Amino acid sequence: MCKKRKTFRSLIWAGSLSALFLLIRMLPLYKPVPEDPFSGPHWYNPYEHAVPGGRWLRANFHAHSNAWGIVTNGRKNTVGDILCKYDSLGYDIVGISDYQHITQTGKELYIPCYEHGFNILKTHQGSIGARDVYHNDYILPQTRSQKQHVINRLARRSELVVLNHPDWMGGYSQKDIRQLTGYDLFEVLNDFWISEELWDVALSAGKPAMLLGGDDAHNVFKQTDLARDLTVIYTNSDTVTPAAVYNALRNGTAYGIEVTGNLARATVTEKRAGLDAMPLLTSCKIIHDSLIVTLTGKADHFSFIGQNGRLLSKVSDTGNGLSSAHYMLQPEDTYVRVRISLPDSTRLYLNPVMRTGREREKPLMPASQKRWLFTIFDK
């Protein structure tokens, strides 16, 4: 009897230890990355090489096809439907971002993408230049360390990791954004949610997160699902390669467009005409501490925004609109980004110029650091 009880106790212990081991194995532990606003004597300007004479490519990396049948939205769209609609809208790059699945497009300029995440609070990530799918996720509301772990796993398998619609449904809190690292892009513009305020939290904490805009289209037959939020990417080459696209996005030589008002509800043909007629960025230069932004057409006003999302300057013209504006960079400025409102209320969101210690080099995203306990379980 006594021996039996001993064996039973040993089994309970072994079971508890195994459960504890599995629990710890499931709980990634990372140190929070301290806030460290951009600093240094130089300015990194993502548009330094975007000179007149190049082209701006229209891109969308967020559209769902019917890959998952009736399980998710996106059930009405075939890959062919998506490509056809975006072709009609004059897009150069169409990435299909099915959940947990890299979908081929057959396009000459093929960018493999997918959307990662099947948790209840929509803590989602985009994988651009995806080589492989990371099949795990944490279903319940995630800890900051679990979010960090997924980002790190995706970074091993992709050219670029995006925080998708980060402010939507609290997918990422402000505290998360101050402490997370290791991703490349921030989907500031998404049809479901604009995460501009949260982007400033990331930038103010010293995370050089570049902007992405995407439709998150689930039904390309619905006018309001298309060409609402897009990214335009600079190229000065006739032949565009995936590597050039990844570099431009990583370096920030791209900007976002939030299409609003009547154009957001217009037909494909009307939207194509609206996009074709829309002013483009001519240049964004820093000359003697002056940040000068010029467009090919007229804007209603230019907003210069800095540390903690503060509006530093608003330049407008009560007459016919203006095609250029400038702002004197101040010693206390850590980053400055420009948002341009066009007369029809459409907005262009430029990537920030950032202070840096190394001339012409973008500030680095800090490395994530595991806590000691987690290093035992996660090699």
- Which of helix, strand or coil describes residue 149? helix
- Shortest Cβ 203–Zn ion spacing (Å): 22
Q: Can you read off the two tokens belonging to residue 159?
A: 């050219």
- Shortest Cβ 85–Zn ion spacing (Å): 20
Which lies closer to Zn ion via its Cβ, residue 42 or residue 122? Answer: 122
Q: How far is the C-alpha of 173 from the C-alpha of 94, rounded, in Å?
A: 30
Which lies closer to Zn ion via its Cβ, residue 56 or residue 186? Answer: 186
Torsion-angle region of 359 (φ positive above 0: left; ψ -120 to 50: alpha; else: beta): beta
* Phi, psi of 85, rounded to the nearest 5 degrees: -65, -45
Is 250 among the residues that bind Zn ion (CB under 5 A)?
A: no
The residues in 102-141 that bind Zn ion, with binding defined as CB under 5 A, are 124
State the sign of the Cα–Cα–Cα–Cα dihedral 138, 143, 145, 148: positive
- Shortest Cβ 35–Zn ion spacing (Å): 27
- Shortest Cβ 125–Zn ion spacing (Å): 9
- Which of helix, strand or coil describes residue 281? strand
State the sign of the Cα–Cα–Cα–Cα dihedral 277, 200, 43, 245: negative
Which lies closer to Zn ion via its Cβ, residue 126 or residue 279? Answer: 126
SS3 readout for 90-143: CCCEECCCCECCCCCCCCCCCCCEEEECCCCCCCCEEEECCCCCCCCCCCCCCC
The residues in 12-71 that bind Zn ion, with binding defined as CB under 5 A, are none
- Shortest Cβ 16–Zn ion spacing (Å): 38
Which lies closer to Zn ion via its Cβ, residue 164 or residue 341? Answer: 164
Number of residues that bind Zn ion (CB under 5 A): 2
Binding mask 158-197 for Zn ion (x = CB under 5 A): ------x---------------------------------
- Shortest Cβ 115–Zn ion spacing (Å): 5
Half-sphere exposure of 301 (CA within 13 A, CB side): 11
- Shortest Cβ 124–Zn ion spacing (Å): 4
Q: How far is the C-alpha of 366 from the C-alpha of 222, rounded, in Å?
A: 41
Closest residue to Zn ion, judged by C-beta, is 124
Which lies closer to Zn ion via its Cβ, residue 153 or residue 355? Answer: 153
Which lies closer to Zn ion via its Cβ, residue 114 or residue 246? Answer: 114
Q: How far is the C-alpha of 13 from the C-alpha of 11, rounded, in Å?
A: 5
Q: How far is the C-alpha of 139 from the C-alpha of 119, rounded, in Å?
A: 4
Q: How far is the C-alpha of 34 from the C-alpha of 175, rounded, in Å?
A: 11
- Shortest Cβ 222–Zn ion spacing (Å): 17
Q: Residue 174 CA to chain centroid, in angstroms?
A: 16
Which lies closer to Zn ion via its Cβ, residue 146 or residue 164? Answer: 164
Which lies closer to Zn ion via its Cβ, residue 184 or residue 333? Answer: 184
User: Site residues (CB under 5 A) for Zn ion?
Assistant: 124, 164
